[in-house]
């Protein structure tokens, strides 16, 4: 059946994609390995190491060992335009982007996919820990994005912005395996990548720390750290009114619950200084460098226009917890288009707002202006710019950018 299908596998020089390529070959596909050079800027390299060169050599050696053709393509320009520029713009605006999710949507399953199609490939495969399903809805095929079988490695969250056309062309050959099994196969096949360390995400940053990367374009600028009391009246609006069912909440109440709070300096007390509000993210504890406060300080909001950070004392500060979040109409993405909610409709799903976070039950309400996601239990670290993905069991149904 699969004999004549051609697959381009993204070979990163890591163990997962090496084993993915091996398994595809075993299954009888015609496999081509392709390494992409993502982004490399001499100015952010903090050592003389050149990780992408090493990775591309490893990818090539794996291809050689498996006896498959190999190509390397330079997508660094596209990467800069679509990922790096987006990252800087988002941080500058006080939001927290997720480059890994964008990279899958914009690079691996767009530009890379198009390059594969030029080679007349039927599919693009990656070493992601997730699975693809196919069902029929009203007589039409519908593709499903499913969690990886290894609960510690599930990467479906990173693919939550893929659409049906992209999924139709995707293969995830290792999604049904545990990481330990992948390493075992790599060892058995004597692949050079068998013992290679896992990558840390943020592939393009390589070995540079995020703060160092950001400082390339976002210059340090001193500003105030304010500490905000627990007793502010704005926190009352964040609560779900007692006795009300979520379906009956009006938009004003929903906005109070789901929109990020806007603080002003009169609501806080200056406690120290920081070196740039755009370096900080909601929920962050590290990097504030304020001592003598007894309990730890956490960022509860940043205001990049006035360059002020608002913080709360202690991990139970009401500013840290949110009962819901909002996704603007144009930022809502349905993987399962057939399950798209219409205005006025609600649905019960499980949501996650960051990679590896356990799923948490939530009610989704579709309104004219966008989607409100109300959690059964309040969540910490709901950061603007990050993605929320909603699941039905193991299946990722849709996602959106948090307002």
Ligand X SMILES: Nc1ncnc2c1ncn2[C@@H]1O[C@H](COP(=O)(O)OP(=O)(O)OP(=O)(O)O)[C@@H](O)[C@H]1O
Residue nearest to ligand X (CB): 14
Whether the CB-CB separation of 186 and 11 falls below 8 Å is answered with no
1 is in an annotated binding site: no
Instruction: Find the catalytic residue in 130, 160, 203, 258.
Output: 203
Q: Quote the DSSP letter at residue 209.
A: -
306 is in an annotated binding site: no
| Sites of contact with ligand X (CB under 6 A) | 10-12, 14-17, 35-36, 38, 108, 126-128, 198-199, 203
DSSP class per residue in 111-150: IHHHHHHHTT-SEEE---SEEEEEEEETTEEEEEEEE-SS
Q: How far is the CB of 304 from ligand X (least distance, A)?
A: 29
Q: How far apart are CA 99 and CA 87, in angstroms?
A: 7
Q: How far is the CB of 329 from ligand X (least distance, A)?
A: 30
Please say if 160 is a catalytic residue.
no
Nearer to ligand X among residue 38 and residue 399 (C-beta): 38
Q: How far apart are CA 176 and CA 178, in angstroms?
A: 7
12 is in an annotated binding site: yes
State the helix-helix crossing angle for 51-66 and 15-26, rounded to 10 degrees: 20
Q: How far apart are CA 156 and CA 131, in angstroms?
A: 8
190 is in an annotated binding site: no
Q: How far apart are CA 329 and CA 340, in angstroms?
A: 12
* Paired strand residues for 31: 7
Q: How far is the CB of 34 from ligand X (least distance, A)?
A: 6
303 is in an annotated binding site: no
Nearer to ligand X among residue 182 and residue 374 (C-beta): 182
Nearer to ligand X among residue 127 and residue 318 (C-beta): 127
Nearest to 257 by CA among 321, 301, 318, 323: 323
Please say if 203 is a catalytic residue.
yes
Q: How far is the CB of 205 from ligand X (least distance, A)?
A: 11
Catalytic residues, by residue number, are 103, 203
Query: What residues are designated binding site?
Result: 10-17, 36, 127
Query: What residues are designated binding site for ATP?
Result: 10-17, 36, 127
């Amino acid at each position: 059946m699969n004999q004549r299908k051609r697959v381009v596998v993204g070979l990163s020089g890591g163990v997962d994609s090496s084993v993915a390529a091996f398994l595809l070959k075993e299954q009888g596909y015609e496999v081509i390995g392709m390494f992409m050079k993502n982004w490399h800027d001499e100015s952010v390299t903090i050592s003389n190491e050149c990780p992408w060169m090493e990775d591309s050599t490893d990818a090539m050696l794996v291809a050689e060992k498996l006896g498959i053709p190999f190509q390397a393509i330079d997508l660094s320009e596209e990467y800069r335009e679509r990922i790096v520029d987006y990252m800087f713009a988002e941080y500058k605006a006080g939001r927290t982007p997720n480059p890994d999710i964008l990279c899958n949507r914009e690079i691996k399953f767009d530009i890379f996919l198009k390059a594969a199609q030029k080679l007349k490939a039927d599919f693009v495969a990656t070493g992601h820990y997730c699975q693809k399903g196919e069902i029929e809805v009203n007589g039409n095929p519908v593709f499903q994005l499913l969690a990886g079988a290894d609960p510690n490695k599930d990467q479906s969250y990173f693919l939550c912005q893929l659409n049906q056309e992209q999924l139709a062309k995707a293969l995830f050959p290792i999604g049904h395996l545990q990481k330990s099994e992948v390493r075992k196969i790599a060892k058995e096949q004597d692949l050079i990548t068998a013992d290679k360390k896992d990558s840390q995400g943020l592939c393009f940053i390589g070995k540079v720390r995020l703060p160092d990367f950001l400082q390339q374009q976002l210059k340090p600028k001193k500003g105030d750290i304010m500490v905000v009391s627990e007793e502010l009246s704005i926190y009352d609006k964040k609560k779900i009114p007692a006795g009300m069912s979520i379906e009956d909440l009006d938009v004003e109440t929903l906005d109070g619950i789901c929109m990020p709070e806007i603080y002003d300096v009169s609501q806080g007390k200056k406690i120290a200084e920081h070196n740039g509000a755009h370096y900080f993210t909601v929920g962050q504890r590290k990097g504030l460098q304020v001592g003598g406060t007894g309990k730890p300080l956490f960022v509860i909001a940043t205001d990049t226009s006035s360059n002020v950070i608002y913080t709360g004392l202690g991990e139970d500060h009401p500013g840290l917890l949110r009962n819901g979040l909002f996704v603007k109409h144009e930022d809502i993405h349905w993987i399962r288009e057939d399950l798209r909610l219409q205005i006025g409709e609600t649905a019960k799903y499980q949501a996650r707002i960051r990679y590896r976070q356990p799923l948490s039950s939530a009610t989704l309400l579709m309104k004219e202006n966008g989607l409100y996601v109300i959690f059964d239990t309040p969540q910490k670290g709901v950061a603007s710019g990050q993605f929320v993905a909603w699941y039905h069991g193991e299946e990722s149904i849709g996602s959106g950018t948090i307002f």
